Amino acid sequence: MALMRLRREDPRVVGSYRLHRRLGTGGMGVVYLGSDRRGQRVALKLIRAELAGDAEFRTRFAREVAAASRIRGGCTARLVAADIDAERPWLATAYVPGPSLYKRVGDEGPLAWPEVASIGAALAEGLVHVHEAGVVHRDL
């Protein structure tokens, strides 16, 4: 995953987490690499300001956080903390370092079929745990 510098408009602290880099952006907000006072690294999703004022969105986000807290099992990043009542709601999961699939294929070319099968099996295992918690993963 590409680590991008924080921009001028990015917060430096959210909750009890210090933000270090941007990991990516999406329709809901920005995901940052952060850490707590003990140095535990997290991926922190901060909701976009325009969505934070939408009561219906906040309700959906609260359901997402509640569901994420029920997910147990391998191949998923565990929910560490969240604040659904913050001015801009956020959630933090354990940070799992590694290159994106896009970067890996770009740097090294197509993956061999055994590696693709292994990644597919891990993805399926993670989705089983997500679905068992009653979550529909909208990004896949």
Catalytic (active-site) positions: 139
Answer whether 119's CB lies under 8 Å from 67's CB: no
pLDDT tens digits, residue range 91-119?
A: 999 999 988 888 889 999 999 999 999 98
The pLDDT value recorded for residue 68 is 86
Answer whether 58's CB lies under 8 Å from 52's CB: yes
Domains contained in the chain, CATH given = 4-132 (3.30.200.20)
The pLDDT value recorded for residue 14 is 98
The pLDDT value recorded for residue 123 is 87
Among residues 103, 12, 89, 15, the alpha carbon closest in space to that of 55 is found at: 89
